[in-house]
Amino acid sequence: MHRRRRTAIVASTALLLATPLVAACGSEARPGAAALVGGERIEVSTVQAEAKRVRAAQQRSPETAQLVKDSGQLSRAKLYDLIVDRVVERAAADAGVGVTRKEIQQTRAGLAQQAGGEARLQASYLQERGVAPDRLDDALRRELLIGKLAQSLGPANTPADQERLNRAFVTAGKALDIDVNPRFGRWDNRQLQLGDYRAPWIKQRTQQPQAAPPTGA
């Protein structure tokens, strides 16, 4: 796998946060839905199911107590992820960017080698990003989509380059007309966050970790 493949959700999501998303719907989401995104419902039951997946994985970890303590806003974190997934998918689709199953598998293999094995890779995503092991491919897909979108718009080496990527997410967010149930907080278009919730692993930086090639180097 090429060392320059962009797979860092930390850095790429920071780019999302750098510029406001605009014009999300100000009305409340329909009863029974956690949010409406692009006219499609994200059900409360879906959010709860995703949170349960993470909790179940945490219970199997030797660091259960610390993991649970560090993920107190888990339901909002999962809704946040579900919304951002759709923003990324829309922006990528608008740009004609896609990701294949093979690319996800290759990236996973490279990252597992870099982490010291599949188990350690899964543990890292669970601890740092609240991703259940059976959702790891979904997380990698989002990372790859963001990386490909960035590449399609030009290298994100300067503020102007990053602004082009940010505008793609602004456009996608506006088109999706995001409306969140007040139970989960208000959707902040300027910060891309739910009320006072912002994924704790997000850092404002542009460095992007690289996956190790599958055969070593």
Q: What is the DSSP string of 66-90?
A: HHHHTTTTHHHHHHHHHHHHHHHHH
161 falls within a domain? yes
pLDDT band at 39; cut points 50, 70, 90: very high
Query: Is position 39 within any domain?
Result: yes
Q: Which domain holds residue 129?
A: 9-194
Average pLDDT over residues 59-72: 60
Q: Does any domain span residue 4?
A: no
| DSSP 3-state of 28 | coil
pLDDT given for residue 133 in this prediction: 95
**Do the domain assignments include residue 200?**
no
- Asked if residue 54 belongs to a domain, the reply is yes
Q: Does a structural domain hold residue 125?
A: yes
The token pair that represents 50 in the structure block: 């995703």
Residue 201 falls inside a structural domain: no
pTM: 0.74
- Tell me what the pLDDT averaged over the chain comes to: 75
Please, which pLDDT band fits residue 44 given cuts at 50, 70 and 90?
very high
Please give the tally of structural domains in the chain: 1
Average pLDDT of 129-138? 94
Half-sphere exposure of 195 (CA within 13 A, CB side): 13
Stated as kind and residue range, the H or E segment containing 188 is: strand 187-188
What φ, ψ does residue 195 adopt, rounded to 5°?
Answer: 55, -125
Q: Is residue 19 part of a domain?
A: yes
